[in-house]
Structure 1
Amino acid sequence: MRARAALLVLVTAAMAVIWAGMPGFSTAAYTASTTNTGSRVTAAADWTPPAVVLTAPGASVKDTVTLTAAATDGETGVKNAAIQYLAADGSTWVTICTAAGAPYACAWNTRTLADGSYELRATATDNAGYSATSPTVRTIVANNLLVVLGDVADAVRGSTGLSAAVYNAGLLVPVVRFEYSPADTNNWKSICTNLSAPYSCSWNTAALANDFYDVRAVAVAGGTTYYSVIADDVLADNQAPAVTMTDPGTPLSGTRTFQAAASDAHSGIAKTVIQSAPAGSGTYRDLCTINTEPYSCRFDTKSLTDGNYTFRAVATDLAGNSTVSAPTASRVVDNTVSAVSMDNPGIYLTGTVTLSAAASSNAGVRSVTIQRAPGGTTTWTDVCTDTTAPYSCSWNSATVANGLYDFRAVLVDGAGQTTISAPTAGHQVDNTPLRGYDVQAVNAVTVGKLQPGDSLTFTYNQRVNLTSLAAGWTGSAQAITVRLRDGALLGLGTTGDTLDVQYAGGAVNLGSVNLKQNFVKASKTVTFNATMTAGTTTANGLQASTVTITLGTVASNSSSLRTASTAASMVWTPSSAARDLNGVAASTAPVTEGGTLDRDF
């Protein structure tokens, strides 16, 4: 009996390991089993989705072409493979065919479609019910003469290259030109004219106002004029960003915070690099590269030779314009003395947080004490003392009242001498029970573009009184309006496009989401018809509320939507009008999207 029990434990543990590695629930049928007296353990024959790849049909196609996918499954085998297409301006994937056996192929009659760019993919399903989708491939359908403009960057500067291709010209010899127009004005002007193959041109944007423009290619052949699809909302940005190096102080020792202030009026800051150079050398080395605000980093000055240094910051915008800050000179790095600095614990502090400091001394470090004080005061209170590196402690922020706090570190070296760090200020302790936990988007059609079927889910850290979000709401499907505003309208810049939710009774009290990307044209607002539903999940071991917004049709300004090309993490700022089940208002602490950095929607 003991042997059988031990076998059961081993098999169960093995199944737990397999289960823990799975991304979701399987629809696989249980087909293998092991038994002993009084117990039965079963195992599925297939836990792995199939592999599938669609063969690209070529750069361009016409008439009827054969599309072929390769699909394999090493366990239960492939049940079928569906091949689909999506038009460049489409909102749904269209199934061409579903093949039940190899070769997984379709005859695609392109004569029934409009000429233009198409994406293709294949989805294979195995006999256990698992599915996998291939990477997409792109092709051009050209059953008639078609001119296609090459990819144009979202933001351009100086002289930028343009290219075009002409398909299915037959015996005709097209002449191509490139044109631009201020966005949405249809006021076209020539960039280059009378071009023969290969069709390329240099567009001098430095002569234009820093603004958004539409670009197209035009082909003339046999007395007929053909126009490409327009590359709309291309930002010409020839204005360099502004950047200022924050004085790091002197002398510098140990690990210190280096920071710069950077801003850009048009395309936005792409990165800020903080650099140092020995005094008089002019040879700068990068200390750190920061991609998001605040433009600061912690750097261990012990990696620099003691001496006199100059520091500066270099900011680069999304169009590629760069500015070098004025240098901050005559700053001494001296690591022969005791040094201590407080790490920044974050703007918002909730629950138990880690407070840490960096410290060094030639006399040795006897102890480092971390202290707190109400913001802007000098009433310092010890939080903890650590005698070994790394110097840190866990602090329960709920033991103090909500509010602003400053922190500092006090070093006592081996000789008994005390060194006190500069304080790090303006940290908001916020232990409001109800708060945002996460925000996530799900794409239904085109990555980086808001379209019908896309969804956005807000997750709280506990249960929400749904009537505080919208009067009388029970959580069932509720018709709402989603508003998407360009960041420039809100003073947040090109990549600060912001989403909020409204309904017939007013605003839905979810707050707003800064999408941190460029989804809508300059100074425009787009609205969607949408549906809101509530659900529950588990967050940090507690039952919590979710609110999912699913986009429907575009209600206004569909032409102002654009496709974001960069990955970013959304930031949700909840509304304090939301209430928990006890009527306590929600925290307004911002919540940054968790998980993998992506383009969203």
Structure 2
Amino acid sequence: MDQNTQSGESMRTSPARRSLGLLAVLALLSVAALVAPGFSSAAFTSTTDSTATVTASPDWTPPTVTVTSPGTAVQGTVTVAAEASDSGLGVKDVTLEYSVVGSGTWTAMCTDTTAPYSCAWNTAALADGRYDLRARATDLAGYETTSDAVRTAVANKLLVVMNDPGDTVRGTVQLSAAAFNTGSLSHTVRIQYRLAGASTWSTACSNLAAPYTCSWSSAAVTSGDYEFRAVLTAGTTTTTSEIVTDVTVDNVAPTVTMTDPGSPLSGTRTFAATAADAHSGVATVEIQYAASGTSTWKSLCTVEAEPWSCRAATNDLANGTYSFRAIATDEAGNATTSAAVANRVVDNTVSSVSLNDPGVLLSRTATLSAVASSTAGVTSVRIQYVPTGGSTWTDVCTDTTSPYSCTWDTTKVASAVYDLRAVLLDGSGRTTISALETVPVDNSPLAGADVQTTNGSGSIAGQPGANDTVTFTYTAQVNPASIMAGWNGTSTNVQVRLRDGNVPALLRGSKGDTLDVMNGSTVLGLGSVNLKGDYVRFLRTVSINATMTAGTVTVNGLERTVVTLKLGTFASGKAGDLKTSTTAAAMVWTPSSAATDLSGNRCSTTNVTETGTADKDF
């Protein structure tokens, strides 16, 4: 490659960071109040109530800001403009910034204090290539908002740019490039690809003239993550574009199985399916129904995140016999239809009963409740349990008045996974059995209670970074020395390791990236977290320095330990090794049995799913 050759590596355009100021703090406190009331940042201390006076701010609303694209390519000095507004005290100033694609570093062009907000951007001193532009608006209350980024190319010399074909592709893919400042040069462009991590490039199409587009059959290659580039040849001079990375080719359809919803069906019921996809990941699962004897399928619900289930009112369907099926579609658009579960009766004419969700993990004394109704009147509702896979049901209680509920002393049963159901006896003597609720019972003295992440000040939403926090909440107090030898719960330096879910040690797929905590080469006794998202680039591992502290919270009069990690600088790897997740999902924490309570009892390793509404973590 001669001196005119240009090459590089690109990153996806990250969603703009949103600095929400006091609003973010209040939102964090609301979540903390639900999960861990009475939190104290001091190591292993109890908390007490206090009284404070709060004065409302005259401005609670951050500004809005957008940056206007100056065009696909720019030369010399160009004007970059932004629009900003604030419904409160008004906009203080707007700072416009640029960043070389993939660098993660932003440089200010100027700060403008009056509308219209704009800067003169002198590109002559910059290297040709792709750049991202953004604007940061600050209002007079001190709140700051960062706009979404727009992409352009600086083309003061001969430049070829590979256009991004998209995050996920399948079938026939339209590839394109752009060339700038070719003048009267006779030239051609070819587009190349390679599997991520490979050293050899293959040609997708060649001898392209303007507008440099072609069709490429992705079915001819193995599904996986690929990189693309464009190569311009003019005589003996070859110019190569920056590399577009992390394009997932997925021509393999997902797998999907419809879960039997039971029969007869009445009231509000859970309809569910299992689905998986090894490459781009499952995007949606649609659950459908069809009346027996017909071929017309109608949508019951469409689910966009695990678990692939929904609650639906069966009284919206006419009484009769139905078939149910699920259609899974992956991020690339491949779809699979499950086998149908047939001959399921919907009958809402007499009785309906459903067991309310008892929670993700039961221990000690749990409250169980059911909702029941019958046109013949409800005589009683029995709530029963059986070890999953068993056939002998045991009564927890029988209630004759609404609300139908009782307490279950789970200490009288072995720690295991149980099926729960409610049995309605109506005034005509007919019984109706609810759908099953499956829940683990764990009366170990110590278990995981919740895991949460919070986006820190100045970090990119949806991407791990400095000032982000991760909190692990236990069901009881933990001996900190069992998590890390010699630790007493005070702030200590550790490293947070983030691994791509495709690494051989995990094999969880692109949306199975995993977090654990280390001290040097030693994995600490916190366990691991399946982030259920794509945060780390293909087959890469990143280590971020962090501080770890332990504190206590009081829940229902019992003290619990909360371990908090605050992320800092990179210990190994770089910002370019990370991706910005766009998927809202619930993390799953698998605690380590190395952690013990203050009596030396080991922690349960039962998985703990992040509570609250599914969101993009970090």
TM-score, length of structure 2 as denominator length = 0.78
Task: Deviation per CA, 1:327-369: give whole Å up to 9, x if none.
Answer: 2333333334544343553442357766444544342333323
Contact 1:496 1:514 in 2 (8 A): yes
CA distance in 1, matches of 2:334, 2:482: 47
Question: Residue 406 of structure 1 contacts residue 425 of structure 1 at CA under 8 Å; is this kept in 2?
Answer: yes
Q: Distance in 2 between matches of 1:297 and 1:53?
A: 37
1:478 matches 2:493: yes
Distance in 1 between residues matched to 2:307 and 2:433, nearest whole Å: 24
1:274: Cα distance to partner?
1.9
Match of 1:227 in 2: 240
The aligned counterpart of 2:564 is 547
The equivalent position to 2:250 in structure 1, one of 234, 237, 240, is 237
The 1:260–1:83 alpha-carbon spacing in structure 2 relative to 1, beyond 3 Å, is: closer
- The 5 A counterparts of 1:204-353 are 204-221=217-234, 223-349=236-362
Aligned twin of 1:526 = 541
What is aligned with 1:140?
A: 153
Gaps of 5+ in 2: 1-21, 27-52
Contact 1:346 1:427 in 2 (8 A): no
Question: Within 1, Cα distance between the matches of 2:262 and 2:426?
Answer: 22
Per the alignment, residue 586 of structure 2 pairs with: 569
Structure 1: gaps (5+ residues) = 1-20, 26-40
Residue equivalent to 1:58: 70
**CA spacing shift, 1:71–1:410, aligned 2, 3 Å:** closer
**Cα deviation per residue 1:84-129 (whole Å; 9 max; x = unaligned)?**
2232212333333345666655443323333333333333445554
- Does residue 498 (structure 1) correspond to residue 510 (structure 2)? The answer is no
Which residue identity lines up with residue 562 of structure 2 in the other structure? S
Report the Cα offset of residue 483 of structure 1. Answer: 4.2
1:271–1:292 contact (8 Å) kept in structure 2: yes
In structure 1, C-alpha distance between the alignment counterparts of 2:148 and 2:283, rounded to whole Å: 28
Number of residues of Structure 1 aligned to a counterpart in Structure 2 = 562
* Counterpart position of 1:378: 392
1:259-281 CA-partner distances (Å, limit 9, x unpaired):
33333333332222221112232
Counterpart-to-counterpart distance in 2, 1:546 and 1:82: 37
User: Per the alignment, do residues 385 and 163 of structure 1 end up closer, same or farther by CA in structure 2, a change over 3 Å counting?
Assistant: farther
- What amino acid sits opposite 1:378 in the alignment? T
Question: Offset at 1:587?
Answer: 4.5
- Structure-1 separation of matches of 2:368 and 2:450: 22
In the alignment, which residue of structure 2 is the partner of 1:578?
Answer: 595
Note closer, same or farther for the CA distance 1:313–1:104 as it changes in structure 2 (3 Å cut). Answer: closer
Q: 1:169 to 1:386 in 2, by over 3 A?
A: farther
Task: Report the Cα offset of residue 427 of structure 1.
Answer: 2.9
> Per the alignment, do residues 581 and 196 of structure 1 end up closer, same or farther by CA in structure 2, a change over 3 Å counting?
same
CA-CA distance at 1:481 after TM superposition: 5.4
Change (3 A) 1:425 1:78: closer
Deviation of the 1:61 alpha carbon: 2.5
Instruction: State the Cα distance separating 1:562 from its structure 2 match.
Output: 4.5
- Secondary structure of the structure 1 residue equivalent to 2:423: strand
TM-score, normalised to structure 1, is: 0.80
**C-alpha displacement of 1:184:** 2.0
Contact 2:79 2:118 in 1 (8 A): yes
Matched, 1:517 2:533: yes
Distance 1:327 1:125, change over 3 A: closer
CA separation in 2, counterparts of 1:505 and 1:51?
45
Counterpart amino acid of 1:575? S
Question: Against the structure 1 CA distance between its residues 136 and 458, is the aligned structure 2 distance closer, same or farther, given a 3 Å change threshold?
Answer: same
Equivalent residue for 2:381, pick from 356, 359, 368: 368
Distance in 2 (CA, whole Å) between partners of 1:448 and 1:587 is 30
Letter of the 1:382 partner, please give it: V
- The answer (yes or no) to whether the contact 2:63–2:139 under 8 Å persists in 1 is no
Over aligned residues, Cα RMSD in angstroms? 3.7
CA drift at 1:534: 1.7
Letter in 2 for 1:534: T
Amino acid at match of 2:353: V
Query: Partner of 2:595: helix, strand, or coil?
Result: coil
